[in-house]
Amino acid sequence: MKENQLLLNAQSVLQNNWKNGFTIPCEGLYPFQWNWDSGFIAIGLAHIDLERAKQEIKSLLLGQWKNGFIPHILFHNKSDSYFPGPEVHASHLNAHAPKLPTSGITQPPVLGFAIEAIYDISNETEKTFVEEVYDQAFLLQQYFYTQRDPYDEGLVYICHNWESGTDNTPVWDLIWKDMDSPNYELNRRDTQHVDAVNRPSNREYQHYIHLIELFKEWRYDDTLIAKNCPFLIQDPLFNAMLIKSNESLVRLGKLLGKDKEVAQLSVWHQKAITTFNSKLFNEDKGAYVYYDLRNRRTIDYVSSSSFAPLFAGIATKAIADSIIKTHFNRGIFSGKENELLLCASFDPTSQDFDPKRYWRGPVWINLNWIIYHGLKRYGFKREAEQLKSDTLYLLEKFGFYEYFDPRKEVVEGLEIGYGGNNFSWSAALYIDFIKRA
């Protein structure tokens, strides 16, 4: 399909998913406002309708709690096509929560760099907008570095798999293995929209819900969560997004004369980068991995999250070289014969790799966008171009699906992508890939 036609299709996906002030990720499957989706969506919207891009961010900020926390779902509207809804999350249990019902867990903090992208795409005309939202974006960084870093290391934890954005990556299997969650009866709706083989299992969902039930018992109190939660992980993608947002807010803060904020962000930033490299880089794997803070162990699994730190400029040149050598160009994620499209969401050589199931193998467009910009930042032109052309190939062949099979041979014979169709961030980031990247 011609680029122009696809751009028009991408715009209509975003138009159809627009609900008077914010964009849902996907009709039926995800009918509310999602945190990191909104960041990526706003970047795409900025190319076609700046007002909507700004509104997307402002709607997200309506969900901010008094302590700076921004939840992963905002229930502005009603819908019974999704489980678990507002009554399960019960955010009112925490005194910081706003009147607007939200979830009580968060998602990768893309807000800071999404604001910067809007500013850049507007040709630096949107300074007033940056001024309007800056303090709230700063508060979010402050929340993480003061409430989610119990050992003052510069790395923050996540306490739920939904906080990672990579819901069912095999990394979490290790945590579930030791959890004795009840056999809740679940009223799942996702499998009514999408083939169950592409989604997490019921047992996994019971663990997801069990964690929420624990948080409610603790009224979403951060201290109790840090002390007791069985899921307490320093995740490379999540921390990389936070660090990238530090960098963006330092640049924007200088522009606005926010000296105090810039000084504080710079302190968090430096410390974060130092610990990130010493604690999360794994030489044997040639990649960044995960740290399980609850059980004090490294989880040396490699996923697409392992490459996100390039986007935030965290890696030294030597680390970046070793990542590329091990994983790209006939490396682990390309396949020995380059038989894989970039970039699988989980280690394709692992026995847990499943090319059809959600975050256990398929390609996701937002991770591709993050990794593409990381490769470019470090001057890996050939790999960046490969990643971009694989991304465009998938979107041009299938349209704006949620995720895609990375096996070239299989993809040739397929007619559709996996998961939801008309998925907002796939459309939004296509627009950014064409207009800016």
The residue (of 286 and 420) whose beta carbon lies closer to ligand GLC is 420
- Binding status of residue 204 toward ligand GLC by CB under 6 A: no
The residue (of 30 and 430) whose beta carbon lies closer to ligand GLC is 30
Count the residues in the chain. 437
Report the C-alpha gap between 210 and 308 in whole angstroms: 29
Burial of 95 (0-12, 13-18, 19+ CB in 10 A): exposed
Cis (ω within 30 of 0) for the bond into 98? no
The residue (of 106 and 234) whose beta carbon lies closer to ligand GLC is 106
CA angle 220, 224, 225 (to 5 degrees): 65
Report the C-alpha gap between 356 and 417 in whole angstroms: 9
Query: Minimal distance in Å, beta carbon 183 to ligand GLC?
Result: 22
Express the helix, strand and coil content of the chain in percent, nearest 5 each.
Answer: 55, 5, 40
The residue (of 105 and 250) whose beta carbon lies closer to ligand GLC is 105
Instruction: Give the residue among 335, 331, 240 at the shortest CA–CA distance from 281.
Output: 240
Query: Minimal distance in Å, beta carbon 270 to ligand GLC?
Result: 29
Contact criterion met (CB below 8 Å) for 265 and 141: yes
Among 44, 84, 154, 165, binds ligand GLC (CB under 6 A): 165
User: Do the strands 297-299 and 290-292 form a parallel or antiparallel pair, or are they unpaired?
Assistant: antiparallel
Radius of gyration of the chain (CA): 20
Query: Minimal distance in Å, beta carbon 435 to ligand GLC?
Result: 22
Query: Minimal distance in Å, beta carbon 423 to ligand GLC?
Result: 7
Query: Minimal distance in Å, beta carbon 26 to ligand GLC?
Result: 6
The residue (of 30 and 301) whose beta carbon lies closer to ligand GLC is 30
Tokens for 24? Answer: 């849902």
Query: Minimal distance in Å, beta carbon 34 to ligand GLC?
Result: 4
- x-or-dash string of contact with ligand GLC, 25-54, rule CB under 6 A: x----x---x-xx-----------------
Catalytic residues: 167, 402
Report the C-alpha gap between 238 and 166 in whole angstroms: 10
The residue (of 141 and 422) whose beta carbon lies closer to ligand GLC is 422
Instruction: Give the residue among 194, 204, 223 at the shortest CA–CA distance from 162.
Output: 204
Query: Minimal distance in Å, beta carbon 329 to ligand GLC?
Result: 28
Among 27, 56, 153, 167, binds ligand GLC (CB under 6 A): 167
Residues 315-374 that bind ligand GLC (CB under 6 A): none
Q: How many residues bind ligand GLC (CB under 6 A)?
A: 7
Closest CB to ligand GLC: residue number: 25
Task: Please report where in the chains the tokens 């991770």 appear, as a residue.
Answer: 367
The residue (of 36 and 113) whose beta carbon lies closer to ligand GLC is 36
Q: Which residues of the chain form contacts with ligand GLC (CB under 6 A)?
A: 25, 30, 34, 36-37, 165, 167
